[in-house]
């Protein structure tokens, strides 16, 4: 009997449990986002709801900020704005990153190498700076597109390099030798590669673009009031959070929980697999 088997089973069990936890958390966040207008006791950006800079108490669970806004309501609206920006961005990153990279590796050599070179240059830039540049070139309303496109080059390069290896694999040679067309082989490879990993890739992309979007907002290149996302809320609290910790702590904690659930849903071995 192989003594390694129980350990592997234990590791897989832990991984599955945590992935389920991640997806459950994301599901709960989706419910909170869709019901945010009902769950929040005040509309977004509603000032003078309570006294200024009240610490967390029975009346105001997350306290109030410098304009007397209820931090619990604001955090719920901020979470909603962050998720609404991040979901389309994650889809764009997935489509133009991993998926496009896998397809591009099988295009004619000249086209595929040119694409690899172009995207390789973009991947040499920090995604955050690329997102800021795209937002400044377009408009703040396009922040989702900018975040998705800025996260895509690195995913493209990884997908391309992985698919290049696969295109030279033995099964590809056999397939070509038996008369299977390139298009059919591409379709089969894509189905094989993504059928088991699509949800994990989507969750990973969600975590990445959430970090990019919130950081861009923090630097002043994202959402605008009254639709403040969590990054902008933390940026607004920067001037007084040293004396009123709750104004930054609760939005930051909420943002971290969102990213954590997305990372758990992506699987614990994220980054440990090539």
User: Interface with another protein includes 53 (CB under 8 A)?
Assistant: no
DSSP alpha helix (H) spans, the chain: 4-34, 36-39, 71-93, 100-104, 109-123, 127-137, 143-167, 170-177, 182-195, 198-218, 230-237, 246-266
Site string for another protein, 90-129 (x = CB under 8 A): ---------------------------xx-xxx-xxxxxx
Q: Taking CB under 8 A as the rule, which mask of x and - marks residues 242-261 in contact with another protein?
A: x--x--x---x--xxx-xx-
Q: Is 242 exposed, middle or buried (CB count within 10 Å of its CB: 0-12, 13-18, 19+)?
A: exposed
Nearer to another protein, 11 or 165 (CB): 11
Closest contact distance (angstroms) between CB of 144 and another protein is 17
Q: Which of 6, 9, 14, 171 binds another protein (CB under 8 A)?
A: 14
Name the nearest CA neighbour of 186 among 196, 194, 197, 178: 194
What is the rounded CA–CA span in Å between residue 143 and residue 226? 16
Nearer to another protein, 37 or 269 (CB): 269
State the CB neighbour count (10 A cutoff) for residue 85. Answer: 25
Answer positive or negative: Cα dihedral of 208, 213, 219, 221. positive
Considering the rule CB under 8 A, would residue 234 count as an interface residue with another protein? Answer: yes
35's tokens: 């019901």
Draw the binding track, 211-230, toward another protein (x: CB under 8 A; -: no contact): x--xx--xxxx---------
Q: Does 23 contact another protein by CB under 8 A?
A: no
Q: How far is the CB of 235 from another protein (least distance, A)?
A: 8
From 6, 10, 51, 226, residue interacting with another protein (rule: CB under 8 A): 10
Nearest-angstrom CA–CA distance, 28 and 18: 15
11 binds another protein (CB under 8 A): yes
CA 71/CA 250 separation, integer angstroms? 8
114: tokens are: 């040119």
For residue 128, give every residue at least 6 positions away whose Cβ sits within 8 Å of its Cβ, in sequence order, or none.
150, 212, 215, 216
Q: Are the C-beta atoms of 263 and 246 separated by less than 8 Å? A: no
Nearer to another protein, 114 or 182 (CB): 114
Residue 6 binds another protein, judged by CB under 8 A: no
Is residue 18 involved in binding another protein (CB under 8 A)?
A: yes
Judging by beta carbons within 10 Å of its beta carbon (0-12, 13-18, 19+), is residue 187 exposed, middle or buried? exposed
Q: Should residue 239 be labelled a site residue for another protein when binding is judged by CB under 8 A?
A: yes
Determine the size of the site formed for another protein (CB under 8 A). Answer: 52
Contacting residues toward another protein, per CB under 8 A: 7, 10-11, 14, 18, 117-118, 120-122, 124-129, 132-133, 136-137, 154, 207, 211, 214-215, 218-221, 231, 234, 238-239, 241-242, 245, 248, 252, 255-257, 259-260, 263-264, 268-274
């Amino acid at each position: 009997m192989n003594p390694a088997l129980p350990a592997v089973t234990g590791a897989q069990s832990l991984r599955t449990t945590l992935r389920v936890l991640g997806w459950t958390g994301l599901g709960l966040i989706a419910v909170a986002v869709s019901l945010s207008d009902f769950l929040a006791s005040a509309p977004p950006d509603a000032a003078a709801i309570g006294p200024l800079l009240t610490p967390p108490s029975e009346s105001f669970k997350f306290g109030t900020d410098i304009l007397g806004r209820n931090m619990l309501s604001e955090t719920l609206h901020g979470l909603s704005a962050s998720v609404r920006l991040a979901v389309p961005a994650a889809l764009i990153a997935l489509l133009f990153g991993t998926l496009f990279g896998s397809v591009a590796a099988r295009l004619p050599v000249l086209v595929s190498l040119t694409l690899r070179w172009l995207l390789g240059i973009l991947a040499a830039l920090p995604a955050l700076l690329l997102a800021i540049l795209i937002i400044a070139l377009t408009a703040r309303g396009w922040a989702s597109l900018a975040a998705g496109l800025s996260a895509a080059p690195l995913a493209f390069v990884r997908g391309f390099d992985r698919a290049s290896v696969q295109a030279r694999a033995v099964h590809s040679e056999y397939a070509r030798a038996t008369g299977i067309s390139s298009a059919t082989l591409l379709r089969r490879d894509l189905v094989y590669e993504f059928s088991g990993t699509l949800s994990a890739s989507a969750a990973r992309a969600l975590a990445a673009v959430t970090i990019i979007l919130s950081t861009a907002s923090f630097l002043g290149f994202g959402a605008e009031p009254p639709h403040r996302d969590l990054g902008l809320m933390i940026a607004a609290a920067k001037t007084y959070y040293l004396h009123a910790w709750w104004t930054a702590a609760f939005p930051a904690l909420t943002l971290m929980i969102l990213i954590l659930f997305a990372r758990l849903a992506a699987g614990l071995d994220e980054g440990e697999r090539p």
